[in-house]
Amino acid sequence: MLNMNRVTLLGHAGRDPEVRALNNGNKAASFPLATTERWTDRDGQPAENTEWHRVVAYGAAADAAERLLRKGSAALVEGRLSTREYRDRDGNDRVVTEIVVAGPQGVLNVLGRRVRNADGSPGKEERP
């Protein structure tokens, strides 16, 4: 029987990546990625829904995230869906679902970065 676990997302980074060194000498970079679905509701009004995804990149993808990805950057992410359990500092059991970007099938392409004008309004998108 064939199986596949593959996720492709195109969105914007919610913050700069958090990069940490692993015991094996490699790096891991984690960041939230927002994807927004837009549509027109039955009353003809624009509507939208934003989903937040936790992305964890390893190896070359972590290096790329550290060098290029910043809050607001547009990014294409391909990886696998992974759910894990852990116990937080307060002793509470937690479950987290992540997009893991690793190995030859993992892809992280930073497509551009949103810049702000001097008055704080959204500006054009820069390419790295």
- Closest to 51 (Cα-Cα) out of 9, 82, 81: 9
pLDDT tens string 28-48: 999 999 999 999 999 999 999
Domain spanning 7-126: which superfamily? Answer: Nucleic acid-binding proteins (2.40.50.140)
pLDDT tens string 57-80: 999 999 999 999 999 999 999 999
- Between CA 18 and CA 26 the distance in angstroms is 14
3-state class (DSSP) for residue 60? helix
pTM for the full predicted model: 0.81
Mean pLDDT, the chain, rounded, equals: 90
Tell me if 45 sits within 8 A of 88, measured CB to CB.
no
Delimit the domains of the chain by residue range: 7-126
- Closest to 117 (Cα-Cα) out of 105, 126, 107: 126
Q: Which two tokens stand for residue 95?
A: 């479950």
